[in-house]
Amino acid sequence: MNPREQAVETLLRVNREGAFSNLEIRKVLSRHLFTPADERLYLNIVYGTLQNRLYLDDVLKGYTQNGRKIDPDVLEILRSALYQLAFLDRIPPYAVVDEAVNLCGRRQPRAKGFVNGVLRAYLRRPVKPADFDFNSYDNEKEALSLRYSIPLWIVHKYFEVYGREAAPEILSCLNDTPPLFIRVNTLKMDCQALADALAGEGVNTRPGTLSPDCLRVTDPRQFAHGIAGSPLYKAGAFTVQDQGAMAVAERLAPQPGETVLDMCAAPGGKTTHLAQLMENRGIIIARDVYANRLELVTAAAARLGAGIVQTECGDGTADIPADHNRYDKILLDAPCSGLGIIRRKPEIRYLGDKTSRKAIRQIQWALLRRAWDYLKPGGTLVYATCTVDPDENERQVQSLLKERENAVLDAQGYTYTSPMDDGCDGFFMCGIHKKK
């Protein structure tokens, strides 16, 4: 199967069957089907088509009969071909059209003429992203939604959180490839030592600007055998983690010797960061509802030498009387809608509805109240998400502050990160102290 056809298969799995793009891509690449060039093309088509789906569908309307229902296979073939014609400039247009028509012939033969006609009509009257005229729209948010393929309700959330000045620039970054950050494992070496050692492997880095434990990799392709193939990675000298996620553990500021609970721990990135901040002294209970995901925490802790991590499988909303007033510090990295990591999981923008978002908020609230029961008087709870929805973030915390008289927001208040912060993902975090 060639990369274009495999890309269509993946897009169908994601858009029609609800599969996650990162898991589908990992499954495909594990079969070693492609040359390096074909792998890059496959990835480019999948991510680019997902990222620009609303924009591509709007362009498609200009070349098809209004209201015509298009077969799902044919629609993904057209979307992926339009993406290549509109966004990529190294592929000859005739090759894109011929491959799309041939692919349609194998999957939906009766639609070959339709696909050919639509794509050739586009070539006669091409529409390019650079030609998008924001000034032709009366509503700025609608224009941003269409151009960057961000559903309008999400655009409103970004404006609410980041403001009218910053939101448009942040939205324009959400289809970019995120930078690669790595967290130095200070249990084994310091930042400069790792930077020097990576340079010896041919990997150039620079310090991150938000976390003292962060290095930003200049070019991920410099890892000759992939990140997991690096001897330094295998030795546990570093792990991959967004710089904004690093700031979450640092906000909790756990101290050596403390007893800490990570309530939703998998896959373990923040858990192992807590261990290194504690200098591997004390106790960290890493709890998660899924046993198979806790295996990831165990593996990460073993590789990084985080010996104080103890995993426990359990529902974080269930009451454990022995845990009441037990923990010096608690991290609640709550399940959320994920609107801050759209760059990494582009299909997130199209998923969910009001009912599912309400269900997420109910789980968050149950976890937050339970975390408060488990926190010692004088202790600190950090509540964090990777979304930019205030209903899931500060409004949840405000409800806790209103309900519990002994809850006090820390001096830093509510914090959001964004791509404007050295390329970070969109994280929310705040600290809440429990009065003695």
The residues annotated as belonging to the active site are 386
> 194, 200 in Cβ contact below 8 A?
no
CA 320 distance to own-chain centroid: 31
> 58, 19 in Cβ contact below 8 A?
no
Reply yes or no: is the peptide bond before residue 267 cis, omega within 30 of 0: yes
Cβ count within 10 A of residue 362: 11
Nearest to 423 by CA among 249, 167, 244: 244
> 317, 363 in Cβ contact below 8 A?
yes
Query: Which tokens go with 83?
Result: 């993406």
CA 136 distance to own-chain centroid: 32
Alpha carbon distance 235, 213 (integer Å): 17
> Exposed/middle/buried for 6, CB within 10 Å: 0-12, 13-18, 19+?
buried
> 368, 400 in Cβ contact below 8 A?
yes
Query: Which tokens go with 306?
Result: 């985080």
Alpha carbon distance 241, 300 (integer Å): 12
Query: Which tokens go with 24?
Result: 């589908």
> 414, 389 in Cβ contact below 8 A?
no
Q: Following DSSP, what letter does each residue of 257-306 receive, concatenated?
A: T-EEEETT-TT-HHHHHHHHHTTT-SEEEEEES-HHHHHHHHHHHHHHT-
Q: Helix 152-171 crosses helix 140-148 at what angle (to 10 degrees)?
A: 80
> 429, 251 in Cβ contact below 8 A?
yes
Cβ count within 10 A of residue 340: 30
